[in-house]
Amino acid sequence: MHDTLLLCLGLLLAVCLLVGLSQRLRVAYPILLVLGGLGLSLLPGLPLVRINPDLIFLVFLPPLLYEAAWTTSWKDFWRWRRVILFFAFGMVLLTAACVALAARAFIPGCTLALGFVLGGIVSPTDAVAATSIMRSMGLPRRLLAILEGESLVNDASGLVVIRFATMAVVSGTFVWHQAAMGLVLMTGVGIAVGLGVAGGFYAIHRWLRPAANLTTVLTLTAPYLMYVLAEGAHGSGVLAVVSGGLFLSYHSHTVFSATARQQAYSTWNTLGFVFNGAVFMLIGLELPEVVAGLDGTSRWQAVEYGLLISAVIIGVRLVAALAGSPFSTFMSRFITVADDHPGWRGPLVAGYSGMRGVVSLAAALAIPLLGAGGQPFPLRNLLIFITFVVILVTLVGQGLTLPLLIRWVGGVEDRDHLRPAAEQHRALQQLLAQESLTELAQRYDGQAPANELLDLLQHHYELAAHADGSPTAADTISGYNAVLAELLRTQRQRLMQLRQQNEYDDEVIRQLENELDLKEELAASVLPRDTAARE
């Protein structure tokens, strides 16, 4: 027990160090974590790590999907819904079919059904990998929205392909219309269950108004309940978590208090960091177990099969993404599309951004041990090894070369012409300040002269409402924030001195310390924006 605990603590420490190193090297942390796991797996004396598929699907996957859905913009998701659905369903089915044909043609003993099992495993992209790697490269918002939305939904279609292909291997029969109907039913049931559970939690938050601690616990419970109930109803647990997460995220401002939101965000940021780091580290640590499963199969031959399948899925995605550009232009004559001239740079980068991750590995490990007639499942260990090679090629290989591709194409144009974040931030501050001034004039007219604090408040909003973004205004705001941050640090030092005295309770001191922390965080978050805007 103590050895297991020490091993877990050691891996957590390794995750922290590797993530810190990735920030210094400016490399997406999933890549470095996988490579770090590979390196650790080669150390002598380290126990073999065996990934339990249930650990991924029941413990890690629901909260990771929920966190990704929570931070996904529903507005962007809906705007690019056609492209996202094509990538999430059409691309997965197309890739699975091409992988199945290639596997049957080049891998001895591989049937079409086995090929579809492999295709369903390696077709979906990884939500965590796509989000973490794409955000570190400064891609346009539209491209991020498409890739994140795709990776949230496509696990469902991939798992459906795996389920029916596995049934075909075990039973020896496959009925296409049953598979198509099953995909529709699993999708509908999953979304219905997710929205139903989310509606229940919405009612709880809306009417009971639980305390911040209880709210955080409820948010931790929600994704697991959505996933388990959807899977129990033979629906898609993935789509249940995604749809429920999007719903609650969209309505969070009406059901959560400010304290509850801050506490929940802080908890989820920490939990997401730990889970993300763990799943990518587990991929690398699984190498010895995967290699040991290749009984009687040449490792180099298995590597060749893995590289072949990797080339197929990369090539299919690139061709389909590039073909989607002229197709969108053609369809714009008949229907309204989000972009009638996508060009080739964005589709090329999107086509090259299909990273696979731990869900694919967990799906491979979940292949049943026995097939038709109680015989061992054909090529099971080889399929797992090929999946591992595909993950390495797409996650590490494509992840490291994607920045080179972006530089080669000359960058991806931001066709939405959105204003810079600092400018949007300042404009919203002005709108909110003007709204506050209107409220003060309508409800508290004439009270400012008799109330010095109210007069200062009105003056503060007047300055914020009329800040025009000029260098003088930026210097004024930046100087104010710098002085405020220094005063807050001085107050904190004095508060720590007062803690040594018996005159004040520690609980009261902690409350004031929390207030100072929030104010300092706000000042620190605004100051870099103003500085960046001025530069």
Say which CATH number the domain at 270 has.
1.20.1530.20
The pLDDT of residue 416 is 63
User: Could you tell me the CA-to-CA distances from 273 to 68, 101, 116, 167, 465 in Å, in that order?
Assistant: 12, 38, 33, 36, 38
> Cα separation of 412 and 410, whole Å?
7
Same domain, 366 and 466: no
Task: Tell me the pLDDT tens digit for each residue of 289-318.
Answer: 788 777 667 888 889 999 999 999 999 999
Torsion on CA atoms 32, 290, 157, 105, rounded to nearest 10: 120
Same domain, 376 and 430: no
Same domain, 458 and 353: no
Same domain, 225 and 350: yes
Instruction: Say yes or no to pLDDT of 43 above 70.
Output: yes
What integer is the mean pLDDT of 465-480? 66
51 φ, ψ to 5°? -80, 120
Same domain, 517 and 385: no
> Cα separation of 360 and 412, whole Å?
29
Domain boundary among 387, 408, 429: 408
Task: Tell me the pLDDT tens digit for each residue of 133-185.
Answer: 666 666 777 888 888 888 888 888 888 888 888 888 877 666 667 767 877 88
Torsion on CA atoms 399, 403, 409, 415, rounded to nearest 10: 90
| 517 closest CA partner among 263, 268, 217 | 263
Strand partners, 376: 370
What integer is the mean pLDDT of 396-412? 82
CA distance from start to end of the chain: 55
Same domain, 376 and 429: no
Same domain, 389 and 476: no
Two structure tokens written together for 491: 């107050």
Same domain, 183 and 278: yes
Longest dimension (CA), the chain: 89
The pLDDT of residue 347 is 85
Considering the domain boundaries, does residue 198 fall inside one? yes
Q: Which H/E stretch holds residue 88?
A: none
Torsion on CA atoms 258, 264, 266, 267, rounded to nearest 10: 160
What integer is the mean pLDDT of 24-50? 80
Instruction: Say yes or no to pLDDT of 227 above 60.
Output: yes
What integer is the mean pLDDT of 94-105? 93
> Cα separation of 335 and 143, whole Å?
21
The pLDDT of residue 99 is 95
What confidence category does residue 419 fall into, taking pLDDT thresholds of 50, 70 and 90? low
Q: Which residues contact 382 (CB under 8 A, 6 or more apart)?
A: 107, 294, 297, 302, 305
Considering the domain boundaries, does residue 451 fall inside one? yes
| 230 closest CA partner among 111, 66, 350 | 66
Number of domains making up the chain: 2
Considering the domain boundaries, does residue 413 fall inside one? no
Considering the domain boundaries, does residue 415 fall inside one? no
The pLDDT of residue 475 is 67
Considering the domain boundaries, does residue 416 fall inside one? no
Domain boundary among 374, 408, 442: 408
The pLDDT of residue 532 is 38
Q: Which H/E stretch holds residue 325?
A: helix 299-331
The pLDDT of residue 343 is 74
Instruction: Say yes or no to pLDDT of 221 above 90.
Output: yes
The pLDDT of residue 220 is 92
How many Cα atoms occupy the beta-carbon half-sphere of 482 within 13 Å? Answer: 10
Considering the domain boundaries, does residue 316 fall inside one? yes
The pLDDT of residue 468 is 62
Residue 72 identity: T
Q: Residue 248's domain spans which residues? A: 2-408
Using only the alpha carbons of the chain, give its radius of gyration: 27
Considering the domain boundaries, does residue 185 fall inside one? yes
Considering the domain boundaries, does residue 414 fall inside one? no
Same domain, 397 and 453: no
- Tell me how many degrees the CA angle 73-220-155 measures, rounded to the nearest 5: 55
What integer is the mean pLDDT of 231-258? 87
Same domain, 330 and 472: no
What integer is the mean pLDDT of 481-497? 81
Same domain, 375 and 426: no
Neighbours of 162 (CB within 10 A): 24
Q: What is the mean pLDDT of the chain?
A: 81
Give helix 127-135 / helix 29-41 axis angle, nearest 10°: 120
> Cα separation of 228 and 208, whole Å?
25
The pLDDT of residue 428 is 74
The pLDDT of residue 310 is 95
Two structure tokens written together for 525: 């978050």
User: Could you tell me the CA-to-CA distances from 400 to 141, 301, 304, 452 in Å, in that order?
Assistant: 21, 25, 21, 59
Same domain, 174 and 125: yes
What percentage of the chain reaches a pLDDT higher than 70?
Answer: 85
**Ramachandran assignment for 451, one of left (phi > 0), alpha (psi -120 to 50 degrees), beta (any other):** beta
The pLDDT of residue 531 is 40
**Range with lowest mean pLDDT among 21-30, 143-152, 475-484, 512-521:** 475-484
Instruction: Say yes or no to pLDDT of 403 above 90.
Output: no
Residue 519 identity: K
Domain boundary among 361, 376, 408: 408
> Cα separation of 480 and 523, whole Å?
9
